[in-house]
A and B are shown apart, each in its own frame.
Chain A
């Protein structure tokens, strides 16, 4: 599945529309020669059908985005606002924190989902379906709810705190920090990544593993030399989605604490508390560009195979 569809969930559930093509199939019977007027009428009809979506999209996305870009340059710093994400120490630090959490989330999610996804795809045992259903249940939780789940686990009244207090006398609470945010993003990303990995693992040829094993490869070598390369396109596309989500998401951080210094929170603070709309516009435009570029790059890197893996 191409990484164009991001957090919003079912990138993995639906196979890519472009995956199967019917271009190669010719018509079953010959079609009467179409006259030019007929073709023109057809084209005009298609344009007309595209018009509602086109008008809506231009009016509410393309024009507002252009406006956002222009407003980003109207602050007291002018167009330099766009560079401030690098030049301003605070913004730069929060950029680093954001990217750090996102990279860590991506790596950890891929490892967890890789192990469990391949395992569940390979071994069909009683209860397998239940496990898959449980692992994909949180698929549609919004970021706010994920934040609350982290609080239930690692918050002031959370499970981890209660258990650790009973065991060691020390109450471990980390929900309201970057660690809590990291946990939330992993929670958020596991369901969709497992779906992608399972879909890709289904298409792996078990004969390749058999061959490797019969040639004397250890289970570790089989994983490194056969399974991981086979899953690479799925890893790239799912990883890009994890990364983009962790960079741009807002709800989880919002629920956990205003003190978490990641870029979406900084933008929100600039907009509401400081009423610095120009800076908020510039920063959010940069943030949007970064996530979009990451997804586009991943799509190029993974090539057409991503679609087939989906």
Chain B
């Protein structure tokens, strides 16, 4: 009897927390689709605000997609080799390197952005291009790519696999292409989704790094919240939700059951 009562109490509490997180999302979606939010839904539904966002801010959407894809390419190119090296050499030095790489995530984006500006702000060609924002995003997302690839590489017996292939005469490049890359597919996929999602939503750094010609989606959002009516801000948020929703769903699907199937046989029986 008593446990039933406790169960209901906890369920009610959890539902309340859920409401706290989800109700504002629903309100914001509604606001973005109603003619006048103050009057309420009776004022009618409209796509007018979404169209206004599209006309006024679609450049920010394209820029964000472009930067997040560029960010993905760079983190793949420099992150996978880094994870491979860290997996091969498990020394104190490797751990120190890993710690260093995570620092841009621990240090507030504001500080990193200021550091970039005081160092490279005078290179006007660089300062005003979107590459300046890209640099910040790569710093921030690289640890996620490295760690998620590293997690998979540490779960397989990389050394044995590579030595086996080497003893059969496979060159390093063949080993890397035919053994390492296919084995860390899951890590690369999870890391990629993470990188794109984070880059798409990054604001702390981007607000200082952007120029009037390089506005990303979150920068545009901040703009709209500050200066435009609630309905437009909501419609813009709705567009953002639509863009990150597929990424989030994919992330949740891949985040759950992982690693197990890549573990060597004798580990599973433990």
Interchain CB contact (< 8 A) of B81 among A53, A148, A287: A53
Interface residue from B119, B203, B226 paired with A143 (Cβ < 8 Å): B203
- Pair B31/A152 contact, Cβ less than 8 Å: yes
Residues of B close to A27: CB separation below 8 A: 159-160, 163
* CB–CB A67/B21 < 8 A: no
CB contact between B24 and one of A4, A150, A247 (< 8 Å): that residue: A150
List chain A residues, Cβ under 8 A from B222.
144, 251, 254-255
Q: Is B7 an interface residue (CB 8 A)?
A: yes
Which residue on chain A has the smallest CB distance to residue B82?
A53
Structural contact, B105 and A25, CB atoms closer than 8 A: no
Which residues of chain A in 1-55 are interfacial with respect to chain B, using CB atoms and an 8 Å cutoff?
A: 4-10, 13-23, 25, 27-29, 31-32, 45-46, 49-50, 52-53
A42 to B31, CA, bound (A): 60
Cβ–Cβ < 8 Å partners of B230 in chain A: 151, 157
A244 to chain B, nearest CB (A): 7
Task: Judge whether B65 is part of the interface by a CB distance below 8 angstroms.
Answer: no
Q: CB of B192 within 8 A of chain A?
A: no
A133 within 8 A of B: yes
A14 touches B255 (CB 8 A): yes
> Which of the residues B106, B142, B225, B247 comes within 8 Å of A144, measured between beta carbons?
B225
Which residues of chain B are near A139, meaning CB under 8 Å?
248
The yes or no answer to B130 lying at the interface (CB within 8 A) is: no
A79 beta carbon closer than 8 Å to chain B: no
A268 x B106 contact (CB < 8 A): no
Write the nearest CB–CB distance from B25 to chain A, whole angstroms.
7
Q: How many residues on chain A are close to B (CB under 8 Å)?
A: 96
Nearest chain B CB to A286 CB, angstrom units: 9
The A-B contact count (CB < 8 A) is 284
| Chain A residues within 8 Å of B21, by CB | 134-135, 137-138, 187, 190-191
B118 touches A277 (CB 8 A): yes
Residues of chain A lying within 8 A (CB to CB) of residue B208:
268, 271
Q: Which of A64, A190, A277 contacts B120 (CB 8 A)?
A: A64
Q: Are B88 and A291 in contact (CB under 8 A)?
A: no
Q: Is B115 an interface residue (CB 8 A)?
A: yes
- Which A residues lie within 8 Å of B155 (CB)? 20, 22
B23 contact from A144, A159, A284, A291, Cβ within 8 A: A159
A-B contact pairs, 24 of them (CB 8 A): A6-B105, A8-B140, A10-B255, A14-B151, A17-B147, A50-B81, A52-B81, A53-B82, A56-B78, A57-B100, A64-B112, A64-B116, A65-B107, A115-B14, A116-B10, A139-B248, A140-B251, A142-B203, A143-B203, A148-B221, A251-B203, A251-B222, A280-B114, A287-B108
A150-B24, A153-B24, A159-B23 known; 10 new pairs, CB 8 Å cut-off, are A49-B85, A50-B82, A50-B97, A137-B25, A145-B218, A147-B225, A251-B222, A267-B110, A284-B110, A291-B106
Chain A interface (Cβ < 8 Å from any Cβ of B): 4-10, 13-23, 25, 27-29, 31-32, 45-46, 49-50, 52-53, 56-57, 60-65, 67-68, 71, 112, 115-116, 119-120, 123, 131, 133-145, 147-153, 157, 159, 187, 190-191, 219, 244, 247-251, 254-255, 264, 267-268, 271, 277, 280-281, 284-285, 287-288, 291-292, 295
Residues of B near any A CB (own CB < 8 A): 2, 6-7, 10-11, 13-15, 17-18, 20-25, 27-28, 31, 37-38, 77-79, 81-82, 84-90, 97, 99-112, 114-116, 118-120, 135, 138-144, 146-148, 150-151, 153-160, 163-164, 167, 172, 190, 194, 197-198, 201-204, 207-208, 218, 221-222, 225-226, 230, 233-234, 237, 240, 244, 247-248, 251-252, 255, 259, 263-264, 266-267
